[in-house]
Amino acid sequence: MAELETGTGGALFGMEMAELTERMAALEQKPYRARQMFEALYKQRVETLDAVTTLPVELRQRMAAAGLSVGLPEIMQTAKSVDGTERYLIQLGDGQTVETVWMPDGDGGERGDGSEAAAEESDETVSAEEAVSSPPITQKARDEWGTQSSGSTKNVDKRNWGALAEQGLRRATICVSSQVGCAVNCQFCLTAKLGIQRNLTAGEIAGQVAAVLNRQRIQIGKDRVNLVFMGMGEPFLNYEQFMEAVRLLVEGVGIPESRMTVSTSGILPGIEAFAKEAVRPKLALSLNASNDVVRERIMPVTRKWNIAALLEAVKTIPLRTREWVTFEYVLLGGVNDRPEHAREVLALLRGMRAKVNLIVWNPGPGIDYHQPEPEDVARFQKMLIEGGMPAYIRRPRGRDIYAACGQLKRTVESEKLVELRVRV
């Protein structure tokens, strides 16, 4: 697959063990120094060479003199939603920026996909009215979900006893970008208006995760964190760097691939390559229409790879035990939310180990669509479920700060953004 130019420089974050070993050998160091550096970069998530205390001071100075640095992306600005969601403007080494989103308690997107994350969300439901109006998540709602208060020791979950538990949270989700902008041009998405600038490197993709984990003081192994590669860009149009980032996050940072989901608009060569990967996230395909006529109108990429071809490719993926493929379906009022569309979706997906995430369209300036009525959302879900297809309404997060699905747009200046000069 053709690749756009990615960022360059002397950043160590993003290097695999083999490359770190080469760098250390060039500095006349033994291989164990590369292992120490790998541990510092990914397990400890250091932000400067001075913090790598396992390396001698003299070696750190030589590395700096050679132009090497940790090279983590930097959170420059943040916006905080009334529901607790945080949207970050993250600056890369060349000055380009992307947006990354932190969702405390997630958005329910993993429900029904067969993973441990899905089991954690199994008791949560989102009504059609909630999805359209998007009220903030209240403490009462968290209590109903069984979230432990910070002072409670009753039924403490030993798998979640870090920074999240201290805030009364059971888990969190990070939404990660894979490109600066996007080339797919989905008509209902704000990111599409940016066009495409360049691909992100593996270090820039995984670095967003590390930067957010550091800001939130997350301890892998103590806090439950899910990753969704659903931010700016199409991951499968930056396939090699995306998969390298996945490997770094699994082998280095320590986040299991079963807690990761990648969403694609339907890049056929990417799906075919993905099916052959030994280590891979779960897959979510952005279906968004029940036939090619509607899908071509709202997702021009369909002209290259139609629905039938995409479904055949998805069927070649060897699913793990209890793993289900997710089909995302953004509901656009009067466009793809009619009963006949629900019946067509059932016909398309019949026989597949799949579930559908229904996403009420999130508004954006200059986009000429409107949200469906709550009763249309409820009817669509009911028809899918009655037809034998698990269907879940995804909870919108951060809609008031343009952090919800399809709203990321590299907002540099806004009255809702405040500059982060000091970590809080």
| Per annotation, catalytic residue among 86, 99, 120, 130 | 99
The alpha carbon dihedral of 127, 130, 136, 140 has a sign of negative
Q: Return the SS3 of 111.
A: coil
Residue 244 known to be catalytic: no
Active site residue 99: yes
What is the distance between the alpha carbons of residues 102 and 357, in angstroms, rounded to a whole number? 20
What's the rounded Cα separation, in Å, for the pair 297 and 388? Answer: 28
Does residue 391 contact residue 354 with C-beta atoms inside 8 Å? no
- CA-based diameter of the chain, in Å? 70
Instruction: State the DSSP string of 297-365.
Output: HH-GGGGTS-HHHHHHHHTTS-PPTT--EEEEEEE-TTTT-SHHHHHHHHHHHTTSSEEEEEEEPPP-T
Catalytic residue among 175, 186, 189, 405: 405
- How many CB atoms lie under 10 A from the CB of residue 167? 15
Q: DSSP code of 243?
A: H
* Residue 50: CB atoms within 10 Å: 13
Q: Which residues make beta-bridge pairs with 326? A: 284, 355
β strands within 8-85, DSSP E: 74-80
Round to whole Å and give the CA distance between 312 and 349: 11
d(CA 377, CA 373): 7
Tell me the three state secondary structure of residue 197: strand
Q: List Cβ<8 Å contacts ≥24 apart for 368-374.
A: 369/187, 369/188, 369/332, 369/333, 369/335, 370/332, 370/333, 370/334, 371/132, 371/331, 371/333, 372/132, 372/331, 372/332, 372/333, 372/334, 372/337, 373/132, 373/333, 374/127, 374/128, 374/129, 374/131, 374/132
- Catalytic residues, by residue number, are 99, 405
